[in-house]
Amino acid sequence: MRSYSTPEAVLLDMDGTLVDSDGAVERAWAAWAAEYGVDPALALANAHGSPATVTAARLRPDLDPAQVETAAARQLELQYDDLADVVPTAGAERLLAALDRIGLPWAVVTSADDRLAKARLAAAGIRPPLLFTFEDVARGKPDPEGYLLAAKALGVDPAACLVVEDSEPGLAAGRAAGAMTAALRGLDADVRLTDLGHLAELLVPDGR
């Protein structure tokens, strides 16, 4: 197995990891919470990392499956057009330039749906070679399905992949896939990152 500083592929989460969309995510969940009678603070505490269906079901356990789907669709609707302050995260452009320079394969694996993922990545000016969204899997994070699909598509053993995340559900998905993990926001992983520029330094330590 490769080490986290010499992976064979890098698999990146989107929101909060590659794309700074915190403001848009939090505004949407706050508005959704008001509509669905949920404490906004509780909604925001659960807003990152999991698909909208999982979070909606957690916040409103009284809803039946059809109602959960409706609630999740409403939450996503609130996010689609809120792109005003969506930008690359700190160090993201440096990391992507480093991956390109050393020819290291990479992909984005996100809990967002296809429409939202493409909108946010475009707003941030990022074009991933491969994108896997919630619509590509039967089970979202913390299930490892998305990361396993990405590793297979890149032709890389999951154990040789580095999963980069900013949430516990995402890190759990990476670990369950058997991948090495790197974490932002002070979370625990094989390596803790200050930002994506830090990862660029680990992958290209001599500045090549």
Q: Which residues contact 4 (CB under 8 A, 6 or more apart)?
A: 162, 180, 181, 182, 190, 191, 202
Domain-located, residue 4:
no
Last residue of a domain, one of 30, 54, 80: 80
* pLDDT at residue 206 greater than cutoff 80: no
1 within a domain of the structure (yes/no): no
On whether the CB atoms of residues 160 and 9 are closer than 8 A, the answer is yes
Q: In the predicted model, is pLDDT for residue 158 greater than 70?
A: yes
- One domain for residues 14 and 109: yes
Distance CA 184, CA 154 (A): 24
* 192 and 97 co-located in one domain: yes
- Partners of 20 in the β-ladder: 87
In a domain, 3, yes or no: no
What pLDDT score does 133 carry?
97
- The range of the structural domain enclosing residue 174 comes to 9-21+86-203
Residue 129 CB neighbour total at 10 angstroms: 12
Global pTM value = 0.87
One domain, residues 194 and 91: yes
Mean pLDDT of 27-52: 89
- Convert the pLDDT of each residue in 79-113 to its tens digit: 898 898 999 999 999 999 999 999 999 999 999 99
For the segment 177-203, the average pLDDT, to the nearest whole number, is 97
| Predicted pLDDT of residue 25 | 87
Q: Which structure tokens are listed for 41?
A: 């603070």
pLDDT at 44: 87
pLDDT in tens, 115-155: 999 999 999 999 999 999 999 999 999 999 999 999 999 99
Q: Which residues are catalytic?
A: 13, 15
- pLDDT at 207 exceeding the cut of 60: no
Are 90 and 146 in a shared domain?
Answer: yes
Q: Both 91 and 126 in a single domain?
A: yes
Q: What is the pLDDT of residue 97?
A: 96
**Is residue 208 in some structural domain?**
no
Whether 123 and 186 share a structural domain: yes
Provide the domain count of the chain.
2
Domain end among 53, 80, 107: 80
